[in-house]
């Protein structure tokens, strides 16, 4: 694993366990464009795309889903309903 992945795991832990908004913001800035592109390939409405992206990161913040540390943060985020 590279150091960026370790940092992402720590950010995820801080965002979920410690309700750290800065950590969530960093994850959002890093992964939201990828999530947005993926959702846009399946949804036509810009408003719906933005709503779904926000829903995905709200679920991340709430610690929903199953995080498998062996797979990393990106698969966890992309495993959220709506993606």
Query: pTM of the full predicted structure?
Result: 0.83
Q: How many CB atoms lie within 10 A of CB 76?
A: 20
pLDDT in tens, the chain (83 residues): 555 555 888 888 888 888 888 888 899 999 999 999 999 999 989 999 999 999 999 999 888 888 888 888 999 999 988 77
Strand ranges (E), the chain: none
E strand or H helix at 77, and its extent?
helix 73-78
71-to-46, 56, 66 alpha-carbon distances in Å = 30, 18, 11
């Amino acid at each position: 694993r590279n150091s960026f992945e370790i940092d992402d795991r720590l950010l995820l832990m801080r965002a979920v366990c410690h309700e750290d908004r800065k950590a969530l913001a960093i994850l959002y800035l890093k992964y939201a464009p990828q999530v947005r592109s993926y959702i846009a390939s399946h949804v036509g409405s810009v408003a719906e795309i933005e709503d779904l992206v926000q829903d995905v990161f709200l679920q991340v913040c709430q610690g929903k889903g199953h995080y498998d540390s062996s797979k990393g943060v990106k698969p966890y985020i992309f495993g959220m309903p709506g993606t």
